[in-house]
Every structure is written in structure tokens, then in C-alpha cells.
């Protein structure tokens, strides 16, 4: 079987259990085991574990860099939560407020969960949608690990509440937004941060972004996703772009951002549904 991704059976612990765990992951996300692939793919999904950090973490491995995993408990995401500028940061201001309360967010390009985690840290409820099987698996593993750590470690009392504000769904967001499942809360804000073709995009972590580029490539269908987001959201759609990137082109050239928020490397294009409704809902 030829594929660009496969699951490595963990070399740690009991071999039978490791095989079972890999087979389970393979079934859930429809990713083959590396032992079934000839030649073995360059990118592999497997378990990372060290003597210093003995809890196994699901991670992506590629030859040119170390393991890439998601960690909501410590490292960059925890640091950004504590020192990242709170409610004043551009990402948070871009989400707006509805009658003095925080809107419900759909993060339609969840990726490594960095932006969703910042928003949940500041009280937003976020539904994270991610279409890549490997990235969804990393998110699921990080949420489970984070919740388990938060229930045992009393030094981090807010973490469990933050993680409980995040819900993950592995799906293509365009499909989700075109026909949201019945139980979906009212969709107020849709947030999009599609992969930009340029490799230089300033990312929270270059290693993370590099493996994402190699795994999922640039998102060629951003305008279809933006169109679906504009139809689904009741309050606003927010699109994160590199600072000098053009706005996402839509079939209707009159639909352009109603306002923009700039930060040193990033721009948030805000599409207010109220202001654009006559152009969106024809």
C-alpha cells in the first residue's frame, strides 16, 4: 500500500498491547500500519516517550526533525496562555462580543489547536473542526492527556475547565457548515486559519508548521470554506492571514472584510454578517 503517512507500533512497553493500540488507532482514523506499507512513508504517526517525560504522547515523526506533538499542559501553549496578552490580543479582540457575552466559536481549521486553546483559556466555548486524520488524532490524544493531567495535578486548577470548553470533531468543515448536526449550538463566529502556500508563514512553532505543510499542504479550497462559513455564521467570520497576503477571493467580489485587525505578522479579516447580509444571503 502506498500512502504519505503510516502508524508506527510503539517500541515501548508490552509488544502485544503496543500492537493493539496501533491497530485501534489505525481503525479509528483509517491510517495504515507502517508494517503494511512498501515503501514506508516519510511521515509516521507514533508514540513519543522519554525517561524525563514517561507519559506516551502521540506524535508525528519525519526524518528531518524531532517528534511533533500537542501539549496543552506545558511548553509553548501553556506559556502563551499565561503570558500571551490575555483579552487584549488581536485574536481575541477579533472574535467580538454579543451583548456583553462571549460568542460561541467554531474553529473550522483547528490544526495544532493553538488558537482554540488561547480562546478557551479566555472563556470561549470552541468547537474544533479538523479534516486531517493525523492532526485530529494528535488533538484527541492531547485533549485526553491534558484532562487526565488536570484531574490529578491540583497545581493547575483552571486547566480542566479550559479543556472542557474545547470539543473536537474530525470532519471537513465545509461539509459540517453546510449541514451542521442537529445538536450543534447556534453558530455565531466561524474562525478560519487556512494553510497559506508560502512556507515563511510565521507560526507558533516552525517545526509544527513544517510537518503540517508536508502532511496536508496548502489549503486550496479556502474560498469554498469561507463561503460556507459566511452562510452558517450568525455574527461574524474571522480569517487569519499572513500580514501582506491578499484577502481570500470569493465568487462575489463585493464580499470583502468589513474590518481588519493587524498585528506584527498577522492580519485578521473580519466579515460582519449583519453588514454583509444582503450580499451573502441572496
Ligand X SMILES: C[S@@+](CC[C@H](N)C(=O)[O-])C[C@H]1O[C@@H](n2cnc3c(N)ncnc32)[C@H](O)[C@@H]1O
* Shortest Å distance, C-beta 253 to ligand X: 22
77 touching ligand X, by CB under 6 A? no
3-state secondary structure of 222: helix
Question: Do the Cβ atoms of 251 and 202 come closer than 8 Å?
Answer: no
Query: 39 preceded by cis ω (within 30°)?
Result: yes
User: In the complex with ligand X, which residue's Cβ is closer, 6 or 212?
Assistant: 212
The span of 6-14, 56-64, 83-91, 113-121 binding ligand X (CB under 6 A) equals 113-121
Question: Do the Cβ atoms of 141 and 120 come closer than 8 Å?
Answer: no
193 touching ligand X, by CB under 6 A? yes
The span of 21-29, 46-54, 212-220, 269-277 binding ligand X (CB under 6 A) equals 212-220
Question: Do the Cβ atoms of 258 and 266 come closer than 8 Å?
Answer: no
The span of 36-44, 105-113, 140-148, 159-167 binding ligand X (CB under 6 A) equals 105-113
* Shortest Å distance, C-beta 273 to ligand X: 20
3-state secondary structure of 253: coil
Kindly state the helix (H) or strand (E) to which residue 192 belongs, with its residue range.
Answer: strand 189-192
Backbone angles phi, psi at 183, to 5 degrees: -80, 0
Task: Please tell me the count of residues contacting ligand X according to CB under 6 A.
Answer: 22
State the helix-helix crossing angle for 114-121 and 76-83, rounded to 10 degrees.
40
131 touching ligand X, by CB under 6 A? yes
195 touching ligand X, by CB under 6 A? yes
109 touching ligand X, by CB under 6 A? yes
> Which one-letter DSSP state was computed for residue 186?
P
Question: Do the Cβ atoms of 7 and 34 come closer than 8 Å?
Answer: yes
* Shortest Å distance, C-beta 59 to ligand X: 15
User: In the complex with ligand X, which residue's Cβ is closer, 129 or 248?
Assistant: 129
3-state secondary structure of 52: coil
Q: Candidates 172, 210, 218, 256: give the one binding ligand X (CB under 6 A).
A: 172
266 touching ligand X, by CB under 6 A? no
Footprint of ligand X (CB under 6 A): 108-109, 111-115, 129-132, 135, 172-174, 193-195, 212, 216, 219, 225
Amino acid at each position: 500500500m502506498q500512502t504519505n503517512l503510516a502508524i508506527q507500533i510503539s517500541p515501548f512497553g508490552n509488544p502485544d498491547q503496543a500492537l493493539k493500540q496501533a491497530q485501534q488507532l489505525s481503525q479509528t482514523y483509517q491510517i495504515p500500519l507502517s508494517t503494511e506499507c512498501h515503501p514506508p512513508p516519510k511521515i509516521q504517526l507514533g508514540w513519543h516517550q522519554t525517561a524525563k517525560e514517561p507519559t506516551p504522547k502521540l506524535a508525528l515523526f519525519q526524518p528531518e526533525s524531532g517528534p511533533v506533538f500537542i501539549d496543552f499542559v506545558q511548553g509553548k501553549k501553556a506559556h502563551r496562555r499565561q503570558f500571551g496578552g490575555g483579552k487584549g490580543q488581536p485574536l481575541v479582540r477579533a472574535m467580538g462580543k454579543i451583548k456583553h457575552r462571549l460568542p460561541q466559536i467554531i474553529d473550522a481549521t483547528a490544526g495544532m489547536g493553538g488558537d482554540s486553546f488561547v480562546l478557551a483559556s479566555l472563556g470561549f466555548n470552541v468547537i474544533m473542526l479538523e479534516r486531517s486524520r493525523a492532526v485530529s488524532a494528535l488533538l484527541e490524544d492531547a485533549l485526553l492527556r491534558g484532562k487526565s493531567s488536570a484531574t490529578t495535578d491540583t497545581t493547575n486548577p483552571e486547566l480542566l475547565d479550559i479543556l472542557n470548553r474545547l470539543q473536537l470533531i474530525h470532519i471537513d468543515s465545509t461539509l459540517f457548515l453546510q449541514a451542521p448536526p442537529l445538536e450543534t449550538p447556534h453558530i455565531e463566529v466561524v474562525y478560519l486559519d487556512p494553510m497559506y502556500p508560502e512556507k515563511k508563514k510565521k507560526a507558533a512553532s516552525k517545526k509544527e508548521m513544517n510537518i503540517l505543510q508536508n502532511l496536508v499542504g496548502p489549503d486550496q479550497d479556502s474560498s469554498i470554506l469561507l463561503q460556507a462559513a459566511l452562510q452558517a455564521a450568525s455574527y461574524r467570520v474571522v480569517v487569519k492571514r499572513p500580514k501582506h497576503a491578499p484577502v481570500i477571493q470569493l465568487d462575489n467580489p463585493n464580499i470583502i472584510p468589513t474590518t481588519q485587525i493587524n498585528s506584527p505578522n498577522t492580519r485578521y479579516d473580519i466579515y460582519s454578517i449583519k453588514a454583509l447580509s444582503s450580499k451573502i444571503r441572496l
